[in-house]
Each structure stands twice: as C-alpha cells, then as structure tokens.
Amino acid sequence: MEILWILFAVGVIAAVVAPWLLRRRSGIRLAEPGSPDAADPGAYGFVRQEQLDVRMPGPDQDLLDVLDVVQRTQDWRAASQLLAGTDKDGEVRWQRVQAFAGAASLELQQRPGVGGAWLRAWRAEKPKDAGGAAVHAEFLVQQAWRSSSAGTDDFRIILEEARTVCGEAALLAPGDPVPYVIELAVARGLGYSHEQFDQVWAKIIDRAPQHMGAHLAALHYWCEKWHGSRRDADRFAMSAAARAPQGSLLAALPLFAVWEHLPDIALVRDFYGTEVVSRAMEGALFAVHAARPDDPMLAHVRHLLVHFLVRAERWTEAMHQLVRVDGHIGALPWTMSEDPAAEYAVYRALAVAGYEANGGSPATLPH
C-alpha cells in the first residue's frame, strides 16, 4: 500500500512542476502580463482566459442556442427537438447528449435538489423520448464519476441505474449507437468482463464502426488502471488506427493511448521526444490533415496535439493547432484540470512565447 501512496505523490509533484520544468528546459520565460517582454496571445486573436468556453471542444451554435433556452426557461422541449433532428450515425449526437447531461449535472451541483429540474421533467413528461433517455443515462454516468468514489455502494447503485436507462434508450432508438457508447463507461465502472464488454462493443460496431467517441470510451476500458493493461490499450489503439479509412480520425487513437498512460511514464527523460510519442504525434497530425474540416471530433484531436506539441517544444505546429481551436476548450487534456481555462492558457502562452523566441510573429502565422 505504501508504494501506491509514493507513486501518487510522485504523480502530484510531476503535475505541479512539469510546466515549470518545461519552461526552464526550453529557455522560455513567461513574463508578467503587461510587461514589455511578455508575448501577447491577444495579438493572435486568441480569446481572453475568462471568456474561454469549457462546455464543448468546438463550436456548435445550435447546441449553444438550445442550451441557453433550456437553462433559462427550464423547458426541455427544445433539447428534445434538437436531438430528434440530429443524425443517429454521427458523432454530433453523442456530443450533444454529453453536453445536455453535463449541463444538468452542473446545475444539480450548483443547486442541490433543484438544479437540472428540466431533465427530470423531460423524463417524467415524455418517458418514451429516446433523446431524453440517452441524456438521462449519460447524466447518471457523470453523476457517478463526479460525486461518488469508484467502488463504493453509491457509485455502483448509480451505475446500475445508468445501465438500466441505457437499455431503455437502446430500445427506443434501435439504430442509435449512443446508448451503447454510454454503457462503455458503465462497463468500466462496474467491472464488466471482457466477454460482457465485447457484447456491447459488437453492438456499437454494427451501428457505427468508425465512431471516434466510442473508440475513446473503449480505450478507457482497456487501460490498465481499469480492467486491461497498457499492452491491451496500445493494441486496441494501433489496431483501430491501422483499420481506419482515409480521412478517419481513428489514426490519432494511439496518441490518446499515450495520454492515458502519462502518469506512469511522464517522468522519463525527454519522454516527449521518444520514438513512441513522436510516432503517435505524427499519426495524429496526419489524421488532422486528412480529416474533413467539419468533422465534429477534429477539435478533440487538435486539443490533445497542443499538449504534446508544446511539451515537445514544436512551437510552430502547436500554434497551427491553437489558431483552429481557441475559444472552446471542453476537451482533453484541459478538462482533467480543476481549472481547465487556466491550464489551457498556460500551454497557449508557452506556445506563443516559444514561437516568438524562434522568430515567429502574428504576421507569419497562417490562419
């Protein structure tokens, strides 16, 4: 048990000192805001830290408009209509279900017993609505992981209820992969056997074989901190990337596998310059360049690339990603921080400072 606490302490220390070590090793110093020596992210058109949107990885104006109506009026009907009109086969439906569930969960956290009343009304007034059932299932999953410790009775009770609601949502929308994608998080928490997992995974593959969100959820399951091992996760990611058709962002999955195991290996000297990480970054960059500009998962990959490119001191490439995602930061790795906007702002400032230290300027950066 003592070794677990030692490893935990090392991980915490690494998280605190890593940005400082990066600045020191790269020779980049972040001057105080307003200092004549400070690189100005605003010169590149970047959004101020306090205005960064942590709800989504990228823009979805229809979703934002509906969220505003739902939260202002506490009327669920606009959310139901939006999901009813969202393609079941794509990634957008999954992201919108997550966003609605996250909004209800945050409301409940801010106003215990009162917040998120619109979701309860939605389920009570229209129990056969497939969108409402999916949002409810995802809401329960988020509640379990946010408010309860894994393995406790409360945690398991909430996830068992989520599994039941996933089944209801699947029956209400037979061709929709989203209820099964949600169940992958349930599988992780309840400790599904590999056979149980495979049954859920087969249903997803039958409906949406290239679903990036589903592959990311499955990757969590295969990681050693849950039920598989690092080798299992790497094998899953590499296999999916190898099978990915031209233009698919699944080619970036190995970079997400590297991210999942960062707490175990981030202290290796020059880790971000190793062949494993470099190869994963190149795969993600290739995927980004080949993907459709309107691919809803593109922002997810770009955000993770920012983290790795900055840590690898590849400033220009990091800036090329930043100008395409700045403003919306609801994605890994920022959402793992207690203050996602502050974490993102540090990496953005490092990228700007490194870019300018090597001769870059707003005039030389294409948008």
Query: So what's the pLDDT on residue 151?
Result: 74
Task: Write out pLDDT tens, residues 246-299.
Answer: 999 999 999 999 998 876 555 556 888 889 899 999 999 999 999 999 999 999
Query: So what's the pLDDT on residue 286?
Result: 95
Q: What is the mean pLDDT of residues 333-342?
A: 92
Residue 290, burial from CB neighbour count under 10 angstroms (0-12, 13-18, 19+): middle
Task: Write out pLDDT tens, residues 3-26.
Answer: 333 333 334 333 344 444 454 444
For residue 114, which amino acid is it? V
Q: Which domains does the chain have, with CATH numbers?
A: 61-210 (1.25.40)
Tokens of 367: 């948008």
CA-based Rg of the chain, rounded to a whole angstrom? Answer: 21
Residue 155 has pLDDT above 60, yes or no: yes
For tokens 């823009």, the residue is 59
Task: Write out pLDDT tens, residues 88-104.
Answer: 878 999 999 999 999 99
For tokens 């959820």, the residue is 217
Q: Angle formed by the axes of helices 153-172 and 178-190, to 10°?
A: 160
Reported residue count of the chain is 367
Cα 197 from Cα 187, distance rounded (Å): 7
Residue 210 has pLDDT above 50, yes or no: yes
User: Residue 150 contacts by C-beta under 8 Å, 6 or more apart in sequence?
Assistant: 189
Tokens of 177: 């992969």
Q: What is the mean pLDDT of residues 136-158?
A: 89
Whether 236 and 259 have beta carbons less than 8 Å apart is answered as no
Query: So what's the pLDDT on residue 23?
Result: 47
Query: So what's the pLDDT on residue 209?
Result: 94
Query: So what's the pLDDT on residue 226?
Result: 65
Residue of 200 and 153 predicted with greater confidence: 200
Minimum mean pLDDT range among 193-197, 225-229, 336-340: 225-229
pLDDT band at 363 (very low <50, low <70, confident <90, very high): confident
Residue of 211 and 365 predicted with greater confidence: 211
Query: So what's the pLDDT on residue 150?
Result: 73
Task: Write out pLDDT tens, residues 30-39.
Answer: 544 444 345 6
Cα 154 from Cα 156, distance rounded (Å): 5
Closest CA to 187 of 162, 210, 224: 162
Indicate the pTM of the whole model: 0.86
Alpha carbon of residue 313 to chain centroid? 23
Q: How many CB atoms lie within 10 A of CB 286?
A: 13
Cα 224 from Cα 234, distance rounded (Å): 10
